[in-house]
Structure 1
Amino acid sequence: MMQAINFLQFASKFAKNFTTGSDDYILLDVVIDSRKIQSGSKTLFVALNGSRYSGWEFAEDAYSKGVRNFILPEDCPDPILKSLEQANILLSPSPLRELQELAQLNRDNFAGPVIGITGSNGKTIVKEWLAQVLSSKYDVWKSPKSYNSQIGVALSSLGISQQHQVAVLEAGISAPNEMNALAQIIQPQLGIFTNIGSAHDEYFLDSTAKIREKCLLFKNVKYLIYRKDQSLLSQYLEKNFDPSVLVSWSDEPGGDYVLSIKPHNNGSKIFLIGNDFQTHTFITPFKDQASLENVRHVITAALSLGMKPDVIQQGLGLLLAVDMRLTLKSGINGSKLIDDSYNNDLAGLEIALEFMSQQITTTGRKILILSEMQQVGNEKAVFQKIAWLLEHYEIDLFIGVGKGYLGFQSLFTPESIFYDSTEVLLKSLDILSLSNDLILIKGARAFQFENIVQKLEALAHETILEINLNALRHNFIHYRQKLKPGTKMMVMVKAFAYGGGAAEIGNYLQEIGADYLSVAYTDEGVFLRNNGITLPIMVMNPGSYHLDLLLDKALEPVVYNLDQLKSLADGLKDITGMLSVHLELDTGMRRLGMSENDLDEAIKILQQAENLKISGIFTHLAGADEAVHESFSLQQLASFERSSSKIIQETGCQPIRHCLNSAGIIRYPKYSFDMVRLGIGLYGIEVNQLEQDKLQPAMTLKTVVSQVKKLKKGETIGYGRKGEMANEGEVATLAIGYADGYDRRFSNGKAKVLIKGQMAPIIGNVCMDMCMVDVTGLQVTEGDVAILFGNKPSIIELAANIGTIPYELLTGIGPRVKRQYILD
């Protein structure tokens, strides 16, 4: 809940675009999603346009929930405005800009210090760790999750309230001219520049230009923390900032703080020498370079804020490696777990519950296990908000952990269960009788909820296909930006969504703005309908038409020959209801589809078929992924234009026309017609190889090391003794084989895996359930994680190594490989 803002005063400068209708103009909350309205009378609704909707479409819903203050776009229709007659309405050419101004106003009203963090990597981790260390002394507000965008920073700033003493906000940019707006909102007194890397390089002239843009955040800071060992970054800062502002740290003498590292037990010891030559020692459980860099940013920032070293060490002792992503895992007895066990705050809880609402459970319960929130302030208001969220997101069973719930149990439903501690809950898990339930686990670090996750996680094959929903969204947006406004996006989710999980990915696509989904067979479409998908679904090869099923599930079959069309038209004569279909035209693929010679007869049938609606007309391009076939592709497109126009003119139908697949969107965007069909590109594979660097791999296949063996020169490995040690060394056995979809053709060095940051080749033949890699010199131990494909090695390279295509490798991943879904 933000600090109180007078909407009439805020909107007074827009007098000619502002109308009043309510005396309720004191704001305590701002929402951009009408589903999140709690107390409408104190809420401002800001209508931002989405991928498929105009924000004003939800204004009436907000009004029905008591909202009487609105910022709407100038093109809001008059009927909508008239329905909000008793509201205060500001019409704006840019509601986002007004949202950012409100965020700046809330920031201006905050008296405590604000810490602003930017950089290429580590922003979110530094923010989380620093907030945790500071929370031992201060009441801290921090950006939820990775809320660092133009909208995210505004919403983060609007979360600062009077009770907070320190705010920690992160800012992320991906292109020039984005930081100024964020800097005006955050206005940090203390800044942290984590590092500079290659992310978003393609949008900047060079790295110096990117540093310059990011540094706009720090133009008025009192202190700016950075690592002096980052030479390009330190050179720029030392040239462009007053020396009195800069606070540097380094591994070596030369920085304001020297923070050197020594191994210590299972972690590291950090020796600090300050510019006053005072020394301190810190202990941390981390050994990897990225975490140690992040920890030293945290130490330097905490010291700059006046915290004593012993207090900082207490905070460091609670830190664990942070996975800021929400992870959907397989649990015991068919349940699914959403693991958000690192920390707990209201903003993060709402994000996690929204992610939970996107998952479908047809038979089980929605269960929330939540620790108390370790924060000062109005405790009752916090628990009231939790209770409201439980009702709003329709949680079937709430389990509260911590003594803080003791005085507030009456706020929750009688079915709720409360435990004093995590230990007591762990002993009582059996009484929950979990079966096909969806369970969100979220707790403050001190409650060690990772122990609950471990107890409830299904014991299974330790090979995981990780599906990064953030990467899916990035790729989806990349392709959408290639198209003219208004072009629809159909996404292919056939073949178990290319191995990734049709229901989970389908629901996410529905959330982020896909217009259509497409499957290969009718049963795939039925499965999606049974799992909460409401988008239109095209069935490419429906086989025998089950008209009742198609109509009942609102599935849209493809019709690709005259016999089908006749059969379908005849079958619909005795059935009530209109069936939507897509006509497939064969313009050169020579697989399925009607030829130009079929059109006259097809049109006669369509003119007489009263219960048949032509929702779409489409074709497949045979060679869109290769420039050598460009003339043929253009012939296909011309044939499609000619044939589809004839059908439209002679039948009077108004179909959606679509012919471009992922490759076609890149090569022929001006031929997008009404809709395109996105397939393999969604998963980060650009088959043209023209824009591969602009996509993100959405799937990572990983496994664990089962055993490591020391072998002598000349010893052989695996079936047929095909592997042989060229020298004395070590071989690691991995828990994956061809039964999991790891192709046997990867045997004997045809593939490498990433392990301990190094590439290790397959040695010997890939077995059914295992394979072996040469890890000589890598200091690999049992339990280490190995990446089979992801960022590195890429699935494109692996496919090329064995003469196949990425489609085959993705769709071949076996069912015993656990799927995990990740969302930042």
Structure 2
Amino acid sequence: MDVSIEEALKVMGGAVLEPLRGDRSVHKISTDTRSLEKNDLFFALKGARFDGHDFIAEALEKGAGHFVLSGAKGPTLEQKRSANFIKVPDTLKAYGDLARFYRQKFKIPVIAITGSSGKTTVKELAAHILSQKFNVLKNRGTENNLVGVPKTILRLEKEHEVLVLEMGTSVPGEIERLSSIASPQVGIITQIGFSHLEGLKTQEGVREEKLKLISHVERGGIVILNGEDPMLKDVTCGVHKLVRVGSWKDCGDVTAEQVRCHETGSSFYIKGRMFETQLLGRYNILNCLFAIAVAEALGVDTSLIQKAVGSFKPVASRMTLKVIEGIHFLDDSYNSNPSSFKAALETLKELKIREKRGVVCGDMLELGKSSEALHRQIGALLASMLFDFVIAAGTQSKHLVDEAVKRGFEAKKIHAVKDSKEAGRLCREIAVAGDRVLVKGSRGMQMEKVFDCFITSSTR
């Protein structure tokens, strides 16, 4: 890692507790003593359930050469003699500041992706396509917050040619901060929906937060927007090139035609060229278009893009097909909000099958004061779709059940239960081999536990 402790000190604006000593180079940046190595720079970050300052002694034992601290907790006099200690007002801010400085050492394309849904799939697919031509670094899993994005940037090495970053937010200001750290050349906004309303309050608040990305795309860069989203219809980009994508006619600069969706994937055409994907549902065509637009902008050959789109496998628990005891589950259990829930229901409804269709769902969390109304909207939608059974888990899902019954859904076919375990047990009683069952819910509802109620499984 091409950073010295003097550079880090200057960037972070901290103060040394004792004169700098020993090796001034930084092996790598660490926030976790479990992966710490000799001469690492250890950031003592604070979270709701942890405080990195409690691990100073352990970090010293493992050979950390430098520390960044804040607050009242600090090293003993003896510990100060063993390593370099820098005190800053806020270790999280200092962490981001160092990542921003380090990112500027790399003159490579950076792609930043945000939106209410689809971020992880677009990130993974874009990285998969771009890796056909470039050495790509991306976020691990969903490390998309004020810790995860800097952590990814600080993993950059000389061999990397492209950086793909997913950016999440739950309160105002996070996208602004993350975008300023990353300085992307390409910015993607997948959708403006009802998500994280406890912090962002309204859909307009979500829109305002997500659009902060655009102001930090480098001058002359590319902004790629969802051409189907009315919340993004009037967005202009000034000095940036604007590209809109869509899976409907005349809704984008990059548009999918002749769309065909089935139970094992989808196919579509762009300007006469056919693309096939293992991703399920029409909404995932849109996710493909974001990734394709990025790849085209970076000069990846169309034949390589076609091959990569076809070979990409769905991200776990994001609309993946699981066959368990003969039941075909559409596993979309990783997370949920109103927009992604509607898209998942439409995917289930559009399957051309004769077998029964069922839904096992959990609460959509972090919707604030709008929670009841938004659950009732989903209940009304369910009533119009005529599924064979619905099992809804959680306190907020009771509103969904109530509204569905009010709108004409047969009461004997819809069930309100306490949690995902109870939902799984009831599903096992109701569903039979051949049925198609959507499993969907927010992360906190742990809807993956539905599958624990079944004995044997095989996953595509």
Is the shorter-chain TM-score for this pair beyond 0.5, marking a shared fold?
Answer: yes
The one-letter amino acid paired with 2:229 is Q
> 1:42-57 residue pairs with structure 2 within 5 A?
43-57=40-54
Question: 1:22: Cα distance to partner?
Answer: 2.7
1:750 paired with 2:419, answer no
1:27 counterpart SS class = coil
1:178 paired with 2:177, answer no
The one-letter amino acid paired with 2:231 is L
Which string of whole-angstrom CA distances, capped at 9 and with x for unpartnered residues, describes residues 681-723 of structure 1? Answer: xx9799xx997939xx9xxxxxxxxxxxxxxxxxxxxxxxxxx
**Conserved 8 A contact 1:180-1:216:** yes
> 1:256-655 residue pairs with structure 2 within 5 A?
256-263=253-260, 267-273=265-271, 279-323=272-316
Question: 1:16: Cα distance to partner?
Answer: 4.2
**Conserved 8 A contact 2:193-2:206:** no
Matched residues in 2 for 1:60 and 1:767: separation? 50
2:107 counterpart SS class = coil
Question: 1:320: Cα distance to partner?
Answer: 2.1
Matched residues in 2 for 1:220 and 1:313: separation? 31
Alignment counterpart, residue 11 of structure 1, candidates 3, 9, 12: 9
> 1:17-96 residue pairs with structure 2 within 5 A?
17-37=16-36, 39-41=37-39, 43-77=40-74, 79=76, 81-96=77-92
Which string of whole-angstrom CA distances, capped at 9 and with x for unpartnered residues, describes residues 480-533 of structure 1? Answer: xxxxxxxxxxxxxxxxxxxxxxxxxxxxxxxxxxxxxxxxxxxxxxxxxxxxxx
The one-letter amino acid paired with 2:53 is W
Residue in 2 that maps onto 1:223: 222
Question: 1:138: Cα distance to partner?
Answer: 0.5
1:750 counterpart SS class = helix
Residue in 2 that maps onto 1:248: 244
CA 470–7 in structure 1, closer or farther in 2 if over 3 Å, else same: farther
The one-letter amino acid paired with 1:749 is A
The one-letter amino acid paired with 2:305 is I
The one-letter amino acid paired with 1:105 is F
1:100 counterpart SS class = helix
**Conserved 8 A contact 1:49-1:55:** yes
Alignment counterpart, residue 191 of structure 1, candidates 183, 187, 193: 187
Residue segments in structure 2 that go unaligned for 5+ positions in a row: 337-361, 376-385, 392-404, 417-424
Matched residues in 2 for 1:148 and 1:767: separation? 35
The one-letter amino acid paired with 1:147 is E
Question: 1:229: Cα distance to partner?
Answer: 1.8
Identical columns (%): 25
2:29 counterpart SS class = strand
**Conserved 8 A contact 1:269-1:281:** yes
Residue in 1 that maps onto 2:436: 784
1:198 counterpart SS class = coil
The one-letter amino acid paired with 2:4 is N
CA 283–30 in structure 1, closer or farther in 2 if over 3 Å, else same: same
2:311 counterpart SS class = coil
**Conserved 8 A contact 2:214-2:223:** yes
1:192 counterpart SS class = strand
2:269 counterpart SS class = strand
**Conserved 8 A contact 2:255-2:289:** no
How many pairs were matched up?
A: 383
Question: 1:319: Cα distance to partner?
Answer: 1.2
Matched residues in 2 for 1:685 and 1:310: separation? 40
Which string of whole-angstrom CA distances, capped at 9 and with x for unpartnered residues, describes residues 518-555 of structure 1? Answer: xxxxxxxxxxxxxxxxxxxxxxxxxxxxxxxxxxxxxx
TM-score w.r.t. structure 1 length?
Answer: 0.41
1:153 paired with 2:153, answer no
Residue in 2 that maps onto 1:693: 371
Question: 1:198: Cα distance to partner?
Answer: 0.5
The one-letter amino acid paired with 1:227 is N
The one-letter amino acid paired with 2:371 is D
Question: 1:769: Cα distance to partner?
Answer: 6.8
Matched residues in 1 for 2:451 and 2:140: separation? 36
Question: 1:162: Cα distance to partner?
Answer: 0.9
The one-letter amino acid paired with 2:175 is M
1:126 paired with 2:125, answer no
Question: 1:280: Cα distance to partner?
Answer: 2.8
CA 173–51 in structure 1, closer or farther in 2 if over 3 Å, else same: closer
The one-letter amino acid paired with 2:65 is R
CA 21–211 in structure 1, closer or farther in 2 if over 3 Å, else same: same
Which string of whole-angstrom CA distances, capped at 9 and with x for unpartnered residues, describes residues 427-482 of structure 1? Answer: xxxxxxxxxxxxxxxxxxxxxxx9xx99xxxx869699x998989xxxxxxxxxxx
Matched residues in 2 for 1:65 and 1:319: separation? 39
Question: 1:134: Cα distance to partner?
Answer: 0.7
> 1:675-754 residue pairs with structure 2 within 5 A?
693=371, 749-752=411-414
Question: 1:207: Cα distance to partner?
Answer: 2.7
Matched residues in 1 for 2:455 and 2:197: separation? 34
Residue in 1 that maps onto 2:430: 771
CA 731–281 in structure 1, closer or farther in 2 if over 3 Å, else same: closer
1:45 counterpart SS class = strand
**Conserved 8 A contact 1:103-1:157:** yes
Question: 1:167: Cα distance to partner?
Answer: 0.4
Which string of whole-angstrom CA distances, capped at 9 and with x for unpartnered residues, describes residues 281-322 of structure 1? Answer: 322234402211111111111112122211100111211222
Question: 1:23: Cα distance to partner?
Answer: 2.2
Residue in 2 that maps onto 1:204: 200
CA 148–815 in structure 1, closer or farther in 2 if over 3 Å, else same: closer
1:50 counterpart SS class = coil
The one-letter amino acid paired with 1:771 is I
Query: Which of 1 and 2 has higher RCO (CA within 8 Å, sep 6+)?
Result: 2
The one-letter amino acid paired with 1:280 is R
CA 685–469 in structure 1, closer or farther in 2 if over 3 Å, else same: closer
1:167 counterpart SS class = strand
Question: 1:817: Cα distance to partner?
Answer: 4.5
CA 165–78 in structure 1, closer or farther in 2 if over 3 Å, else same: closer
CA 27–242 in structure 1, closer or farther in 2 if over 3 Å, else same: same
**Conserved 8 A contact 1:733-1:771:** no
Question: 1:200: Cα distance to partner?
Answer: 1.7
**Conserved 8 A contact 2:195-2:206:** no
Which string of whole-angstrom CA distances, capped at 9 and with x for unpartnered residues, describes residues 723-747 of structure 1? Answer: xxxxxx997999xxxxxxxxxxx9x
Matched residues in 1 for 2:24 and 2:213: separation? 32
**Conserved 8 A contact 1:302-1:312:** yes
Which string of whole-angstrom CA distances, capped at 9 and with x for unpartnered residues, describes residues 78-103 of structure 1? Answer: 53x53231311101120111111111
CA 814–185 in structure 1, closer or farther in 2 if over 3 Å, else same: closer
**Conserved 8 A contact 1:261-1:268:** no
1:313 counterpart SS class = helix
Matched residues in 2 for 1:10 and 1:177: separation? 24
1:169 counterpart SS class = strand
Which string of whole-angstrom CA distances, capped at 9 and with x for unpartnered residues, describes residues 323-348 of structure 1? Answer: 168xxxxxxxxxxxxxxxx9xxxxxx
CA 818–203 in structure 1, closer or farther in 2 if over 3 Å, else same: farther
Question: 1:154: Cα distance to partner?
Answer: 1.2
1:150 counterpart SS class = coil
The one-letter amino acid paired with 1:693 is S
Structure possessing the higher radius of gyration over alpha carbons: 1
**Conserved 8 A contact 1:685-1:692:** no
